[in-house]
Homo-oligomer: A and B are copies of this chain.
Amino acid sequence: MTIRVDQERLWRRLMTLAEHGATAAGGVNRQAFSAEDASARQLIVGWAEDLGFEVSTDAIGNLFVRRPGSDPDAPPVISGSHLDSQPTGGKFDGAYGVMAAFEAIEAIGDANVETRRSIEAVGWVNEEGSRFQPGMMGSQFFCGHHTLEEVRPLRDAHGVELAGEIQRLIGATPHVRMRDTGFDVSAYVEAHIEQGPRLEAADTTIGVVDSVQGLRWFAIEVLGEAAHAGTTPRAAKRDAFVVARRIIAAAEAVATDEDDTIRFTVGRFEVEPGTPNTVPSRVFFTIDLRHPEQATLDRVTATIEAACADAAPCQASVERTEDVPPTIFDPIVVDEVERAARASGQSWMRMVSGAGHDAMALSLRCPSGMIFVPCERGISHNELEAARPSDVAAGAQVLADTLVALANR
Contact = CB atoms under 8 A, between A and B. Distances in A.
A229 B288 contact: yes
Nearest to A233: B260
A354 B228 contact: yes
A164 interface: no
Interface string A239-265: 101000100110000001000101111
A195 interface: yes
Contacts of A269: 241, 269, 271, 274, 280
Interface stretch (A25-33, A196-204, A332-340): A196-204
B378 A232 contact: yes
Contacts of A236: 197, 201, 378
A273 B274 CA distance: 17
Interface size class on chain A is 35 or more
A368 interface: no
A278 interface: yes
Contacts of A356: 230
Interface in A179-238: 194-198, 201, 213, 215, 217, 226-236
A72 interface: no
A306 interface: no
Contacts of A345: none
A380 interface: yes
B279 A275 contact: no
A51 interface: no
A366 B46 CA distance: 90
A113 interface: no
A230 B256 contact: no
A354 B288 contact: no
B267 A195 contact: no
A154 to B, nearest CB: 21
Interface of A: 194-198, 201, 213, 215, 217, 226-236, 239, 241, 245, 248-249, 256, 260, 262-271, 273-280, 286, 288, 290, 353-356, 378-382
17 contacts: A196-B232, A197-B236, A226-B382, A227-B378, A229-B263, A229-B267, A230-B288, A234-B256, A234-B263, A235-B260, A241-B267, A245-B245, A245-B249, A266-B280, A267-B271, A267-B275, A268-B275
Given A230-B263, A245-B245, 17 more contacts: A195-B228, A195-B231, A196-B230, A196-B233, A197-B236, A226-B382, A228-B380, A228-B381, A231-B353, A231-B355, A233-B263, A245-B248, A265-B277, A267-B280, A268-B274, A269-B274, A276-B286
